[in-house]
Every structure is written in structure tokens, then in C-alpha cells.
Amino acid sequence: MLAVVSNAYGSPDVLEYKQLPKPTPLNGEVLLQVHAAGIHAGTPLIAAGIPWVMRLALGGLRAPPPDSIAGTEVAGKVVAIGSNVKTLKVGDAVFGEIVLTSRRGGFAEFVCLPETSLAIKPSNISFTKAAALPVSGQTALTAVRDAGAVKAGQKVLINGSSGGVGPYALQIAKALGAVVTAVCSTRNVEAAKALGADCVMDYATTNFTENESEKYDVVVDIAGNHPLSAVRKVMEPKGTYLSVGGSPSTFWSRMFTLMFSKIWSSQSLLMVISTPSKQLLDDLRVLVEEGKVMPQVERTYGLAETRDAVHYVADGHARGKVVIVVVPDK
């Protein structure tokens, strides 16, 4: 089979397109024919081995294990099953997230995965759109619904409403009945409005932290481009701040700031790290099939063009999800 692999840490240029043996499913696994694989903001960081501690999960400090296949979100069809597979069968259309430690990613024609990491694909969308759901969708659902506990009527601000996680966070907050303010760049203003934002701020002309008369119950901070002290001034006294994403270079400083701020703050200050689960995937499927959430795919690339696709995401200009199409949608 053809796959995109990594044998060194670095820029997306380290990704190689090569032939590998087709895998065989083990106990509890299924063999998936990959139709599409999503790219998220973390994909270039995984290729680079940043932050350094991530290399422990990837299985190599100086370099990843030989021919580690990239790609952590995938959609496709089950073409074979291993022993003791209980919930899936050959022919099922599924989507899911691949854990970093497996080193068997979705940028390939086939991949073997535990059945527990997959869920039935939403029936009303293509494989391409389904591949845009797993990582970004689960992260947004964990942040907005679970950590943020957003309720109808609450005022929610999403700092970074474009890209991968942002559009999902916006749609999920609206589905929960919140009044949503989206912060994004000029070129993404109309897209945020189209997704249902009640108010859209262009960060090129407006600094949301300067209007202290406007208070928010929940702030979902994806961009991470303002000091926590400034953001807290536009939050309700019992409000919730959710750090989702941000630069890896500031990961530890943000984490320690949040930890120590909790000591004297009446506000809930949290760093959101999503743990993938079949339940989250099933919940996303329901939201999509009910028409409350829809993946926003900006660009697609072929498997042989994966390096270019990851470069595009690494440049930080993606307005929606970028997806690798292995088998074109019919």
C-alpha cells in the first residue's frame, strides 16, 4: 500500500510518500480502507516532535520509529476484521481518531485500528467531511459542552473561530442555546456569521479584552493571543476560561499560569485536553445528522500531496479543515 511516513523530526518536508506492506488486523482490530484523512493544527507539530515531551509518546527522542505513518483522524470503510470484534462488520462506513502512540496513521491506503476508536460515520455527509470531524470535533465538544458546561442563554466568546476547532466550537455553543461572539480575522467574518455567530469581532480592528463593560460566562480561547489577566477582565466573576490550543512554545507557561491563578480566582480557569472516545464520536454523529454541526472543509489534497497540505496548515492560514482524499467521494 501507499502511505506517508516520517523517519525524522522536522518541517513537513520530512514526510515521505512510499510503498509499505498492507497491514493485517489483530485481536480487536479492523482493517480500514482509508477514504479520507484530516489534518489538524497539531499535525505539523507531531512531524516536528514539538513540544519535546511529545516525542516520548511518539516512541523516539532523536527520531520517530522507522516508517511511522502520519495522520490522526480518518474516515473509511471496514474491509476486514480481526478476532473478537463485536460492534463493527465488513462494509461499515466509519470515522475516528488515531492515538499518537500507535504510529499507524491515516495518511495511507489502509490502516488497522481498534474497533473502540471508531464510530459509524454520519449518514448525511461524505467521507471527506467525516475525516474533518474526529480531532477538532471532539476537542470542541469536550471544551464547550463538557468543560465549559455551556447552557442556553449564556454568553460565550470564541477567540479563534476559524481554522479547525473554532467552527465546531461556535456551532456546538449555538446548538446548546448560547449567545455566541466569534473573534476572527477579516476574511473569516462572513463565515462566522454564516455559522450562526450572534456577534463577530474582527481582531484586526477590535480587541475584545478592551471592552470591560461586556462580560462573558464562558471564553473559549483557541488563539491564545491575549494575556490571561486581560481576558479575565471581560469574564463574569464566576465565569469559565478554557484554554484550547495556542502556541506550543507557551504551553508550560500557560499551564502554570492557569494552575496558580486558580488559587485566588473565583473564576474557573481550565486547560482543555481532549481524550478521544467512541462516545464523543457518537455524540458528534448525532449533532451532524440533526443538522446542528457541519464540518467546514476548506481544501483537499491527494495522498501524494500530503507534504504540501501539512505545509499549508503549518503556515497558519487555514480557514477550515484541510483533508487528504485517498478515495474520491462518489
Residue 97 burial (10 A CB sphere; 0-12, 13-18, 19+)? buried
Record the pTM: 0.91
Contact of 295 with 133, CB cutoff 8 Å? yes
Strands 2-6, 68-69: parallel, antiparallel or unpaired by DSSP? antiparallel
Q: Is the pLDDT of residue 206 over 80?
A: yes
* Mean local confidence (pLDDT), 257-265: 70
Output the pLDDT for position 293. Answer: 98
DSSP state of 301: E
* Mean local confidence (pLDDT), 241-263: 71
Look at residues 95, 119, 51 and name the one whose alpha carbon lies nearest to residue 279. Answer: 119
Output the pLDDT for position 249. Answer: 55
Q: Is the pLDDT of residue 319 over 90?
A: no
DSSP H stretches of helix in the chain:
43-48, 54-58, 127-130, 134-141, 165-175, 189-194, 228-232, 251-264, 278-289, 306-314
Confidence of residue 252 (pLDDT cuts 50, 70, 90): low
Q: Is the pLDDT of residue 304 over 90?
A: yes
* Mean local confidence (pLDDT), 182-194: 95
Rounded to the nearest integer, the mean pLDDT of the chain is 92
Point out which residues pair with 28 in neighbouring strands: none
Q: Is the pLDDT of residue 101 over 80?
A: no
Q: Is the pLDDT of residue 81 over 90?
A: yes
Q: Is the pLDDT of residue 260 over 80?
A: no
Output the pLDDT for position 227. Answer: 87
Look at residues 139, 142, 189, 138 and name the one whose alpha carbon lies nearest to residue 161. Answer: 189
* Mean local confidence (pLDDT), 193-203: 97
Share of the chain above pLDDT 70, in %: 96
Where do the domains of the chain lie, and which CATH numbers do they carry? 2-133+295-325 (3.90.180.10), 135-271 (3.40.50.720)
